Each structure stands twice: as structure tokens, then as C-alpha cells.
């Protein structure tokens, strides 16, 4: 197949693009295999919404995860979705992604920052908005597992409908909120605000906003930690405020002491109003197949997948430290996820009856 004339399938969701402009500038990209009788890969881009849920932005079906396909995908992503916004891209160590990030002018610094290895994460730990892995895109791949077994048109339809259901679900949930922050972030805020009331505060420079916080010593021996809060710089030595853009209990303690509104130091990306705006958009239905542009390419069938394999099919993904189980970690049951037994002798397993 002539790569120079190869065309791909891309679909981005307008409501998701609008929501992305209201959310933290960190995206996760990943690719996964189509599982049907077609050779192809599904590329996904996701981020998180104001309630820390996974928010899909764009999908693409390509022939292979090559440097050419990833460059094409990132070019479309910048043009249709990201535009001129500064981003941090979290990905695995695929050479096609690395090539695109290093060679596309619109994905170079200061418009984009690429992070994937532990060395880069450690050096930039306080600048990643709390997102340090590609788990959110891996989760979206798992959601789309059923779609990956289907023919291309059916895969697009199912993916579109699943995303539509996701937006409709969160839209209904968001409209019923009467708290300043969405439920998950509101619980976190209340928990930290409660802990803040037990901290011991020492004022060092009121005009400069420098305070020392000593946490309460607990019965089990934990606590009693000392942190320094630079209130106007919105930093704390615990690192949470700068990394998450969400105040830690030490910052909330200072905020209460100064008589400020604690919600005033929470970044707007976590507000209920932002959450409502992110999902308060209308989808445009996919046009009929007859109105699609003619393409000069074809995803080839993979006849090797039609044969019968003995045993478990061998995985092609690159394994990393998240796939390695610690030798001291006990094995857990696949049904109840509790240690000490397996599926066969689990109390949650259904009894089998032999035919008479």
C-alpha cells in the first residue's frame, strides 16, 4: 500500500473539544489493536473532566502504529482539537509517538511537553496536574474492547454511541448538583477542610503569605509533620497544591486563618459550573455512509485471526513495571478479588449442574 496516499479515519467530538478547553492541559494518548478480521489500530486521546472522570476527546483508525500514522494523528489533533493550547502529553514509549513529538513543529516546546519515563516524571513531578500515567487511556481502550471486534463502520458507530451515552450520563448527573464542586472533588475538599481545622499554624510573614503548619499527632503515631505554605504563590512543601491545583489541608488551614473563602483558592477547572459546561453541548449525528467521502485505501483482512489457536493467545504489548506482580503480593480471586482462594472454591461462584 502506498503510504504517501494512505488515508485514515478520524472522528473528534465537538462537545468533547469544547469541554477540553475548560479542563487541565494534560492528555493521554494510546493505541490498541482491532480484534476482528481486519488489520488496523485504534488510537485514542483522553483527558479528565472537572469531577476527575475520564473524558474522551478524539479517536482514529489507522493501518499501523507507525511514525507516519502517529504524525498524521497528532497533526489532526492539534488542528481540530488542541489548536493553540499548551499541553502535556502522557504516553507510552512507542517510537511513532516519540518521532511525532520530536519532529512536528506544533508539538514542540513551549506548545507541548512529552512525558513518559520515570526519570522525566520525577524531574517534573510538581507540574503534571496529578496525572502521571497512561491509565486513563488504557481504561478507555478497555471500554472500547467490544467495538474493536467489529467491522470498521460498526466500530465507529459503537464508539460514537458509547461516547454519546457517556456525555448524556454526566450531563444528567451534573445538572442535579447543588454543591460548588462536583461530588468527588467536593468530598475531597470537605475531607481536607476538616483536617485543616486540627492543624497548628504559626505565622512567619503575614504580608508575604508564609506560614508553618504542624499536623495533628494521631494515636497511631502518624501525623506531627511540618509543612511550609507560601500562600500567594499557591505552594506547599507537601506538593499537592501545586501538582493538583487543588488546595491541600495545610493551604486550607492558612485560608481559614486569613478569613478568605476556601473555595477561592480552588482552581476553576474543578468547579460544578465547569463540569456542567463540559457536558452541556449537543452532539451532531454521524452522517449516513452514502455521504462519506470516497477513500482510496482499504484495511486488509487478517486471515490469521480466523484460525483456531491452542491455549491463550500471546500478547503483543510491551510489558512494564505495572504488569509485574510483587512476589510478596498474594494472588486474588478473579470473582471477589479477595486473597486466599481462587475462582473454583470462591463462595461467589455459581454451582454447576450436570445434564440429566
Is 89 a member of any domain? yes
Q: Give the C-alpha distances (Å, rounded to integers) separating 1 from 10, 22, 215.
A: 19, 40, 64
Whole-number pLDDT of residue 255? 95
* 3-state DSSP of 138-196: HHHHHHCCCHHHCCHHHHHHHHHHHHHHHHHHHHHHHHCCCCCCCHHHHHHHHHHHHHH
Whole-number pLDDT of residue 356? 42
What is the domain range of residue 31?
A: 3-177+275-291
Do 262 and 281 reside in the same domain of the chain?
no
Instruction: With a cut of 50, say whether residue 75 has pLDDT above it.
Output: yes
DSSP class of residue 78 equals I
Do 141 and 239 reside in the same domain of the chain?
no
Which tens digits make up the pLDDT trace of 15-41? 555 655 656 788 889 888 887 766 788
**CATH, residue 170:** 3.30.420.10
Do 152 and 199 reside in the same domain of the chain?
no
Instruction: With a cut of 90, say whether residue 189 has pLDDT above it.
Output: yes
Do 104 and 217 reside in the same domain of the chain?
no
Q: How confident is the model at residue 5 (pLDDT cuts 50, 70, 90)?
A: very low
Which tens digits make up the pLDDT trace of 301-337? 666 655 555 566 566 555 655 566 666 677 778 777 7
Do 163 and 207 reside in the same domain of the chain?
no
Work out the percent of the chain whose per-residue pLDDT is above 70: 70
| Rounded-to-integer distance, Cα 113 and Cα 135, Å | 18
Is 307 a member of any domain? no
Whole-number pLDDT of residue 1? 31
Q: How confident is the model at residue 260 (pLDDT cuts 50, 70, 90)?
A: very high
Higher-confidence residue of 119 and 324: namely 324
Do 231 and 206 reside in the same domain of the chain?
yes
Instruction: With a cut of 60, say whether residue 123 has pLDDT above it.
Output: no
Q: Give the C-alpha distances (Å, rounded to integers) separating 61 from 32, 40, 99, 192.
A: 10, 7, 19, 43
Instruction: With a cut of 90, say whether residue 248 has pLDDT above it.
Output: yes
Instruction: With a cut of 50, say whether residue 120 has pLDDT above it.
Output: no
| Rounded-to-integer distance, Cα 72 and Cα 115, Å | 20
Which tens digits make up the pLDDT trace of 134-173? 667 767 767 677 776 777 778 788 888 888 888 888 888 8
Do 44 and 147 reside in the same domain of the chain?
yes
Whole-number pLDDT of residue 353? 44
User: What is the overall mean pLDDT for the chain?
Assistant: 78
B/e letters for 29-38, b = 16+ CB within 10 Å, e = fewer, are bbbbbbbbeb
Do 118 and 188 reside in the same domain of the chain?
no
Mean pLDDT of 42-65: 86
Q: How confident is the model at residue 7 (pLDDT cuts 50, 70, 90)?
A: very low
Whole-number pLDDT of residue 311? 63
Is 296 a member of any domain? no
Q: How confident is the model at residue 295 (pLDDT cuts 50, 70, 90)?
A: low
Do 14 and 160 reside in the same domain of the chain?
yes
Decide if 42 contacts 61 (C-beta within 8 A): yes
Mean pLDDT of 233-246: 90
Q: Give the C-alpha distances (Å, rounded to integers) separating 153 from 62, 81, 343.
A: 13, 23, 37
Q: Which helix (H) or strand (E) holds 231?
A: none
Do 217 and 72 reside in the same domain of the chain?
no
Structurally, the chain folds into a number of domains equal to 2
Is 302 a member of any domain? no
Is 140 a member of any domain? yes
Whole-number pLDDT of residue 246? 92
Instruction: With a cut of 90, say whether residue 220 has pLDDT above it.
Output: no
Mean pLDDT of 210-233: 88
Indicate the residue among 240, 270, 300 that finishes a domain: 270
- Overall pTM > 0.75: no
Work out the percent of the chain whose per-residue pLDDT is above 90: 24
Amino acid at each position: 500500500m502506498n503510504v504517501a496516499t494512505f488515508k485514515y479515519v478520524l472522528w473528534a467530538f465537538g462537545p468533547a473539544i469544547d469541554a477540553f478547553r475548560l479542563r487541565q492541559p494534560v492528555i493521554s494518548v494510546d493505541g490498541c489493536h482491532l480484534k476482528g478480521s481486519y488489520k488496523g489500530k485504534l488510537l485514542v486521546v483522553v483527558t479528565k473532566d472537572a469531577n476527575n472522570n475520564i473524558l474522551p476527546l478524539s479517536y482514529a483508525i489507522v493501518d499501523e502504529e507507525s511514525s507516519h500514522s502517529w504524525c498524521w494523528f497528532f497533526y489532526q489533533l492539534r488542528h481540530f482539537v488542541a489548536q493553540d493550547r499548551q499541553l502535556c502529553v502522557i504516553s507510552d514509549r512507542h517510537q511513532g509517538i516519540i518521532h511525532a513529538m520530536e519532529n512536528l513543529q506544533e508539538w514542540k516546546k513551549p506548545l507541548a511537553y512529552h512525558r513518559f519515563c520515570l526519570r522525566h516524571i520525577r524531574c517534573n513531578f510538581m507540574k503534571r496536574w496529578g496525572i502521571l500515567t497512561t491509565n486513563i487511556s488504557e481504561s478507555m481502550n478497555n471500554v472500547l474492547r467490544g467495538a474493536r471486534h467489529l467491522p470498521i463502520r460498526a466500530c465507529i458507530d459503537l464508539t460514537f454511541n458509547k461516547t454519546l451515552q457517556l456525555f448524556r450520563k454526566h450531563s444528567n448527573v451534573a445538572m442535579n448538583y447543588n454543591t460548588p464542586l462536583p461530588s468527588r472533588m467536593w468530598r475531597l475538599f470537605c475531607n481536607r477542610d476538616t483536617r485543616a481545622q486540627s492543624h497548628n499554624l504559626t505565622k512567619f510573614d503575614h504580608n508575604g503569605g508564609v506560614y508553618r503548619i504542624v499536623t495533628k499527632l494521631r494515636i497511631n503515631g502518624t501525623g506531627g509533620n511540618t509543612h511550609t505554605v507560601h500562600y500567594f504563590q499557591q505552594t506547599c512543601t507537601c506538593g499537592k497544591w501545586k501538582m493538583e491545583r487543588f488546595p491541600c489541608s495545610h493551604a486550607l488551614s492558612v485560608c481559614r486563618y486569613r478569613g478568605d473563602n476556601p473555595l477561592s483558592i480552588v482552581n476553576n477547572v474543578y468547579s460544578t459550573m465547569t463540569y456542567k459546561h463540559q457536558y452541556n453541548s449537543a452532539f451532531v449525528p454521524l452522517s449516513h455512509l452514502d455521504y462519506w467521502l470516497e477513500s482510496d485505501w482499504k484495511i486488509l483482512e487478517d486471515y490469521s485471526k480466523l484460525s483456531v489457536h491452542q491455549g491463550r493467545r500471546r500478547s503483543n504489548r510491551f510489558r512494564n513495571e505495572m504488569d509485574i506482580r510483587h512476589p510478596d503480593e498474594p494472588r486474588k480471586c478473579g470473582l471477589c478479588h479477595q486473597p486466599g482462594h481462587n475462582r473454583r472454591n470462591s463462595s461467589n461462584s455459581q454451582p454447576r449442574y450436570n445434564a440429566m
